[in-house]
Amino acid sequence: MQCLNKILMLTTQFSHSDPPNSQTNSSTFNPRIRTHKIYRSPEAYDDNGSKNWSKKTIPLPPNVKSITSTSNPFVKHCVKLRQSSSYRHLNGSVLVVGPTPVREICKFHETLSDRPVIECLFVLENCDIPEEIGDNSAHIVRVNSEVIKKISGVQSVDSVEVIALVRIPSTFHIVSNSPLDEDCSTLFSFPHRILVLDGIQDPGNLGTLLRSATAFRWDGVFLLPGCCDPFNDKALRACRGACFQIPIVSGNWKHIETLREHFQMKILAGHPTIGDNLNPVIKLCKDFADSVADLPVCLVLGSEGGGLSEFSRNACELVTIPMEGDFESLNVSVAGGIFMYMLQRENDKVSCATFIK
């Protein structure tokens, strides 16, 4: 059987000397940079090209119990949060649309000390507040269908009875360069399995990969230059709140190198077997997965639009998924799910199998 292996991975050519989120050069982490910070290169993440938002936060008066006008200043503020990555990170808040992702976020954090900070809960008039969400001390505001359509950006309100305005979680970090040699473990407390995404611009693919990484109990996700904002509204819909459940770091390849050196990580990247004679390509199989089961692993994935950059081909061990038939490629979220399932820790495989039963 002839196996044609055409896995789509890294697309964006990155500069090894220019980090995505800073104007200075260094190979060290600065994990003191936490959440609620604007991207240093917001144009790489901005959804509508607007970069010069005011830093003034628009508060919602505590006595407001309902909003009926789409021209309300707070409604306009929420629309900006949905439309612009720069504005989201400047304000440190994101809109989570629909009861299911809000419920999943609350359920995940209910036993944690860092419960999600829901600043405001918009509830469609005449709809009940889900029980899992109702216990939260959020400011509840009743809105009509026109307001909820305006805030959510969707035309049908059938599955949008609830919208939560949530603080960006403390597990999200934007790493800038610093001369200080910081402890990498402050970014990923247990970096045994880290998913690295490079140039994933489609929010649906990025969101699906985040959800798969969370489902297969990977320890974190690292976003290289060219990725869309994980708190983009379409990415949020695809991940169903997974971006609040897994550590996410935005940085560059120098940070990956520091992570590799610090934790002695093996760097793997998906790649087709054809069209590249520079490096050998390993076929993904159980024997290979078993051989790296006890090793810390970074898995690098990219979009379908291009192949691995020259640096990535030289820096990573190339791995491919054997396929039957004349297929050009797999969607990156499909390929990523296969990789992450095969490469997950053995204990998690057992837990997953038990859960499926």
State the sign of the Cα–Cα–Cα–Cα dihedral 235, 236, 239, 244: positive
Q: Are 284 and 56 in contact (CB under 8 A)?
A: no
Say if 42 falls within a structural domain: no
Same domain? For 346 and 219 the reply is yes
Least confident of 57-71, 76-90, 103-117, 231-245: 103-117
Say if 32 falls within a structural domain: no
Same domain? For 148 and 195 the reply is no
- C-alpha span between 249 and 67 (Å, rounded): 36
- C-alpha span between 70 and 161 (Å, rounded): 17
pLDDT tens, position by position, 124-136: 998 888 777 755 6
DSSP β-bridge partners for residue 118? 166
Same domain? For 238 and 134 the reply is no
Domain of residue 64 covers: 49-167
Say if 176 falls within a structural domain: yes
- Report the pLDDT value the prediction gives residue 288, as an integer from 0 to 100: 93
Look at 123 and 346; give whichever has higher pLDDT: 123
- C-alpha span between 256 and 29 (Å, rounded): 10
Same domain? For 146 and 241 the reply is no
Q: Are 229 and 235 in contact (CB under 8 A)?
A: yes
Say if 40 falls within a structural domain: no
Same domain? For 101 and 176 the reply is no
- Report the pLDDT value the prediction gives residue 52, as an integer from 0 to 100: 46
- Report the pLDDT value the prediction gives residue 232, as an integer from 0 to 100: 93
Confidence of residue 37 (pLDDT cuts 50, 70, 90): very low
Mean pLDDT of 323-332: 78
CATH number at residue 129: 3.30.1330.30
Does the pLDDT of residue 351 top 80, yes or no?
Answer: no
Does the pLDDT of residue 10 top 80, yes or no?
Answer: no
Same domain? For 55 and 190 the reply is no
Say if 234 falls within a structural domain: yes
Say if 260 falls within a structural domain: yes
Does the pLDDT of residue 268 top 80, yes or no?
Answer: yes
Mean pLDDT of 57-85: 89
- Report the pLDDT value the prediction gives residue 208, as an integer from 0 to 100: 96
At position 93, the amino acid (one-letter code) is S
Percent of the chain with pLDDT over 70: 71
Same domain? For 155 and 184 the reply is no
Does the pLDDT of residue 51 top 70, yes or no?
Answer: no
Same domain? For 160 and 198 the reply is no
- Report the pLDDT value the prediction gives residue 315, as an integer from 0 to 100: 83
Select from 105, 139, 167 the last residue of a domain: 167
Confidence of residue 249 (pLDDT cuts 50, 70, 90): very high
Percent of the chain with pLDDT over 90: 39
Select from 167, 196, 222 the last residue of a domain: 167
Same domain? For 58 and 125 the reply is yes
Does the pLDDT of residue 184 top 70, yes or no?
Answer: no
pLDDT tens, position by position, 275-289: 555 567 889 999 999
- Report the pLDDT value the prediction gives residue 342, as an integer from 0 to 100: 95
Same domain? For 160 and 251 the reply is no
What is the number of domains present in the chain? 2
Look at 45 and 268; give whichever has higher pLDDT: 268
Same domain? For 244 and 151 the reply is no
- Report the pLDDT value the prediction gives residue 313, as an integer from 0 to 100: 73
Same domain? For 346 and 250 the reply is yes
Say if 31 falls within a structural domain: no
- For the record, the structure tokens of 308 come out as 């691995």
At position 25, the amino acid (one-letter code) is N
The closest alpha carbon to 174, from 40, 310, 316, 321, belongs to 40
Q: What is the residue whose two structure tokens read 């001390």?
A: 137
Mean pLDDT of 239-244: 92
- Report the pLDDT value the prediction gives residue 314, as an integer from 0 to 100: 79
Select from 124, 145, 167 the last residue of a domain: 167
Q: What's this model's pTM, rounded to 2 decimal places?
A: 0.79
- Report the pLDDT value the prediction gives residue 207, as an integer from 0 to 100: 96
| Degrees to nearest 5, angle at CA 333 with 331 and 339 | 105
Confidence of residue 9 (pLDDT cuts 50, 70, 90): very low
SS3 93: strand
Q: What is the DSSP string of 243-289?
A: GGTS-EEE--HHHHHHHHHHHT-EEEEE--SSS--SS-EEEP-HHHH
Say if 4 falls within a structural domain: no
Confidence of residue 170 (pLDDT cuts 50, 70, 90): confident
What DSSP element (H or E) covers 105?
Answer: helix 99-109
CATH number at residue 315: 3.40.1280.10
Confidence of residue 1 (pLDDT cuts 50, 70, 90): very low
